[in-house]
Structure 1
């Protein structure tokens, strides 16, 4: 039996073929859409933090959208951690939408209705998982 391809995984694979590092694109969009987030990152060394944070988030997204073997639990852990930093939960969750929008723009015509639907569903599920009221 063939397993159907995961549209979320496909979106990341296609993006990786077009862009070696999503970090600058994702964070520029984050800072443009949520200017208050810029102050949350220190000036020196923040590039490593951003890259690491994005890599862990992508790993959690792929697990959450896939087999849920454990990496997805990072989302719940980081919700609590970011609460401790004073990050509003809605802003924490907005980061996932920023990633989606960055991929959508990067993929252009390759952003299919299946991928769009999968991402819309995923974002709703992450909201529920992280305890953000709809």
Structure 2
């Protein structure tokens, strides 16, 4: 398999070779950094909801970091939707940094300066894109 030239996509590809499911690691970090989020997930079916949310976030991030064919728009839509449920935009946007930090820890030495710079820039763009209410 040829590695992606897109550093964001590359970070996910490298992570996939080390971990079949990022969900437990991402949400453990979310709950540690933002304990108030534990109660935001219903008790029955919470793993399915968390897995689905992460999958949609990853799909949106990959599109946002690449060709922006449409899936990236889900970021702004979900920011508004989450706000309606009482999740601040700041917390919603912080989730993407949690994904980044989880990938960084998982990749260890393979977390390159290029990947770090790409993620830093992406998080700034996502913040600007999703930070303003529609």
TM-score (norm 1): 0.95
Structure 1 CA distance for aligned equivalents of residues 42 and 130 of structure 2: 26
RMSD of Structure 2 on Structure 1 (CA)? 0.9
Q: Which runs of 5+ in 1 are unaligned?
A: none
The offset of 1:126, in angstroms, is 0.2
Q: Distance in 1 between matches of 2:28 and 2:131?
A: 27
Moved over 2 A (4+): none
How far did 1:129 drift?
Answer: 0.3
**Paired positions, count:** 129
Shift of 1:20: 0.2
Query: TM-score scaled by structure 2?
Result: 0.95
Give yes or no for the alignment of 1:26 onto 2:26. Answer: yes
After superposition, the C-alpha distances for 1:45-94 in whole angstroms (9 at most, x for unaligned) are 01000000000000000000000000000001001100100101100000
The equivalent of 1:118 in structure 2 is: 118
- Aligned-partner Cα distance in 2 for 1:26–1:74: 19
